[in-house]
Structure 1
């Protein structure tokens, strides 16, 4: 299938999804003022939903330095337009346009709420995009506010070299995206009551790189107490960089810059260098991501998970079926990385088990790639969170008509936002069925954010209950075949 620009966006979580964007389009608008601890913010009320866009949660950042708190202001600050997106690069043909308003001054968030009074559950969305692309403004929280009676927040954070370029002489530089996310969550903790939200009932939710970020936030001391629940979609506590591994990306960026200090070049030069490095097959196709640096991330998150945070975690059934054709990570980098971690003999065993146990109507190599990418990291996160004392729920998104290529990576996004777009479904999909699936996914998230229980049995190591979101939903004993899960026995998740 030749992916259109829109299709690539929908299937990689890097798109301008404009989810729910048409809600209330014909309704009259009026100004609404939120009185935060920092000052007053002017938003817009439309169709029963109040929206504040382009709210700064930190000062314009200094390159390679942690975000600094926003200073209070006088008078009323306008929050009616989205702020600039982070500097970013295209994931592939049809990826995000470089003409999008990008800036290093990108630390903005957006809020959707039914009103400024009350104490509603809060959901903070961390977008995906392979750590190099995406923006909070790509997503619309209207349905969560209008139908879910929650306060919905989307955020930007620094991407690519701007957010992940590790430099030993600049503490925290390899994890600035994570510290940006923590800064946003602190802002929510301090200010969300002004938007009708309950700061003690915050759920952080993210997909792909956003879900992987949450996998790290769950084990970061600096994030403790900032959220009560977490929804991890197609994520897990991966990928892992040691400082030595991260230094290879840094060297490649410096080479792309002709030896110049990345801090001294223009933003466009650093963005262009990020794009060049992202295509370097020698770096495995995933050169920008978190670093276990002994500082911001003192240890692997699975070793120090927060037992007080409830976790809902799941993946799509066919995670790799499109990504394997459009991202260099899947062609060589991911299999090679896993082989290096588990050893040649174990990798051969995994290949044999997946080849022998995968049904004939499925591609065992793609299923193995999916396992390496998100499935096993999700399983390991569920197990580690349960062992730490947290409550855990699992799900799998199985709806075959979710896209022309099935329930692939990010095909669940429009269902998560209860905003089914018919032209993104399979050609003969039943729209009524698709909308029913979306409502079940959406209702599960809202119930989890509100009450800490999405509506099915919690995970236990013996009975690994997993909700299957499908045309006919149901709960199965385990998200993957037992023989495949047991084939991973002996692999150390903290080396992944």
Structure 2
């Protein structure tokens, strides 16, 4: 495998491995996932007022916990199967009786990883609601809608146990499944919705929230759209999508900079529709439908497992489409986006996980190999180009520091500096608060011993906000305090559009807030530390 192919493949593995580990370590008594169509009409064991909620499609019965309630596997759209495979989401079919919402539904089709054994169940357009217990406050609670990451190929809303955020922040949290991989982002000429079916699903979920969340104690007029990695970039896309107008009131973007570039295989981004159509034609050929008289009819008959085997490891939404008329980076640079307050940030060592994975796969980074690695990371440059030589000069590799240097290049080029650029573009029009998660001793997300200390890599902030896979990570007392502080910031932002409050250090809008157990302080050195002047000049 070439280094460049390994770079792209590793993208889909980092967060997947983290959450797969969390699922595999879950208590053995955790119930198995039911099919998405499970509907039971038995009377609820607990009082109806506590766990049964009436939606427009029918009543759902959730589960009561210590201080909160959960409602899992609620359909927000019809199963995208048969003629609805590669169609815009349709309204879910109403049901009679009380629907069992005590367990998560199937994840959307994806290879094995985060979801043990993977998934081939297309009946997956479901969401999960976590709401604090009790009769509720005088006013409805703010709502946070969470879009999971996973490179647009893996992930599930049910991987994110949001009860700590819901209870401490007194908010309602909704986690969402959306179509992934080729089933979510196939592009083909003559196919309405080409390249954006997964984004359309997210909008359908937001419309469901506007219509239904009041019954769960949420404020239909105070919805924050949030996500990490591909989920964060999805928030960028929704900011730029005219069809998302009025569907959310604030935005949180974690490690998904809106100005990421598709020619680099880490930070999520979108591609032009012609590029996406080329990938769609390749998929059709691999699936045995390339020469069919009706390619789409043929593809709709192909088994899911065969589609998963044929799709590329790297997936992106398409722009220059009706849902996403222009690249979000272009839209945001022009000020053509939904003007809502934004909380945005990334992690101090975003690239270290990928660098470690590539080294462990048998690709050492040494002074001798470093120019070739750079040329692979920037494939249009070539080893002898001025760009590659400039990067090698700016980031010299010595005998023992190849891994951290490689990680710094990935993190600076694809996360820290694009996040800084996105911050500046957004701040010209809306209030923006920017953070950098910097806990160098964050609990590891993957098993085993890495070839070098990872610091605060991609996705390492997630256990501070969620119990991944329903299982809390081991945190020190100081890390628990940091987790509480972060939840306070995130949920106050959702409540008032300002993360500041009397119980937390002040977060100025003009600086980056560094988040670590021993310090939560504003800093002005982020751009210098991440060589952003160099990357801005390099282009």
TM over 0.5, shorter chain: yes
Range 161-170 or range 138-147, more displaced: 138-147
CA 1:232 to 1:103, structure 2 compared with 1: closer, same or farther past 3 Å? same
Contact in 1 for aligned 2:72/2:101 (Cα 8 Å)? yes
- Give the Å deviation of 1:406: 2.5
* Structure 1 residue 438: Cα displacement: 1.5
The CA deviation at 1:398 is 0.9
- Which residue of 82, 107, 110 corresponds with 2:104? 82
Is residue 417–residue 442 contact of structure 1 (8 Å, CA) maintained in 2? Answer: no
Shift of the 49–431 alpha-carbon distance from structure 1 to 2, 3 Å rule, reads same
User: Residue 302 of structure 1 corresponds to which residue in structure 2?
Assistant: 329
Aligned match of 2:520:
473
Deviation at 1:179, TM superposition (A): 0.5
Q: State which of 453, 460, 463 in structure 2 corresponds to 1:414.
A: 463
Structure 2 partner of 1:112: 130
The aligned runs of 1:320-399 (5 Å cut-off) are 320-326=351-357, 338=378, 340=380, 344-355=385-396, 363-387=404-428, 389-399=429-439
- The match for 2:486 among 419, 441, 446 is 441
CA contact (8 A) 1:11 1:409 kept: no
TM-score, with length taken from structure 2: 0.76
2:110–2:119 contact (8 Å) kept in structure 1: no
Shift of 1:348: 3.8
Residues 147 and 232, structure 2, Cα contact 8 Å, conserved in 1: yes
Per the TM alignment, residue 192 of structure 1 is displaced from its structure 2 partner at its CA by 0.7
- For structure 1, the 5+ residue unaligned runs are 1-7, 280-285
Contact 1:335 1:369 in 2 (8 A): no
Q: Tell me if 1:278 matches 2:312.
A: yes
Q: Kindly tell me: are residues 423 and 179 of structure 1, through their superposed partners in 2, closer, same or farther at Cα, counting changes over 3 Å?
A: closer
C-alpha spacing 1:161/1:420, structure 2 compared with 1 (3 Å): closer
Deviation at 1:221, TM superposition (A): 0.9
Describe the SS at the equivalent of 1:198. Answer: strand
Instruction: Tell me if structure 1 keeps the 8 A contact 2:420–2:527.
Output: no
- Partners of 2:425 and 2:223 in 1: how far apart? 22
User: Shift in Å at residue 254 of structure 1?
Assistant: 2.0
Give 1:53-452 correspondences, 5 Å limit: 53-61=72-80, 62-90=84-112, 96-98=115-117, 100=118, 102-115=120-133, 117=136, 118-237=139-258, 238=260, 239-259=269-289, 261=295, 264-265=298-299, 269-278=303-312, 286=314, 288-305=315-332, 306-326=337-357, 338=378, 340=380, 344-355=385-396, 363-387=404-428, 389-404=429-444, 405-417=454-466, 431-452=476-497
Which structure has the larger Rg? 2
SS of corresponding position for 1:54: strand
Q: Hey, what's the Cα distance between the residues in 1 that align with 2:346 and 2:95?
A: 42
**1:421 & 1:157 partners in 2: Cα distance?**
20
Q: How far has the Cα of 1:20 moved from its partner? A: 13
d(CA) in 2 for partners of 1:141 and 1:267? 37
Structure 2 residues without counterparts, runs of 5 or longer: 1-12, 31-44, 261-268, 364-371, 445-453, 501-505
Distance 1:487 1:45 in 2: 53
Q: Could you say if the C-alpha distance between residues 159 and 101 of structure 1 is closer, same or farther in structure 2, counting changes exceeding 3 Å?
A: closer
| CA drift at 1:424 | 5.5
Give the alignment partner of residue 36 of structure 1, picking from 38, 51, 55.
55
* Cα RMSD for the two superposed structures: 3.6
Cα offset, 1:380, TM superposition: 2.3
CA distance in 2 between partners of 1:9 and 1:18 (Å): 15
Q: 8 Å contact 1:86–1:102 — kept in the other structure?
A: yes
2:62/2:101 contact within 8 Å kept: yes
Check whether the contact 2:239–2:338 (CA below 8 A) recurs between aligned residues. no
- Pick 1 or 2: higher relative contact order, CA cutoff 8 A, min separation 6: 2
Q: Taking structure 1 as reference, are residues 295 and 348 closer, same or farther at Cα in structure 2, changes over 3 Å only?
A: farther
- Aligned partners of 2:529 and 2:421: how far apart in 1? 14
Query: Cα deviations across residues 4-31 of structure 1 (Å, max 9, x unaligned)?
Result: xxxx776755537469989xx9xx9655
What is the CA–CA distance in structure 1 between the aligned matches of 2:469 and 2:487, rounded to whole Å? 11
Distance in 2 (alpha carbons) for counterparts of 1:41 and 1:199: 19
CA distance in 2, matches of 1:418, 1:209: 19
Deviations 1:355-410 (A, max 9, x none): 49xx97983322111123322332222122112x1111111111111134331111
Q: Provide the C-alpha distance between the structure 1 equivalents of 2:312 and 2:509, rounded to a whole number of angstroms.
A: 37
For residue 453 of structure 1, what is the aligned residue in structure 2?
498
Q: How far has the Cα of 1:346 moved from its partner?
A: 4.2
Deviations 1:129-173 (A, max 9, x none): 111111011111211222221101001000010001111221212
Change (3 A) 1:11 1:416: farther
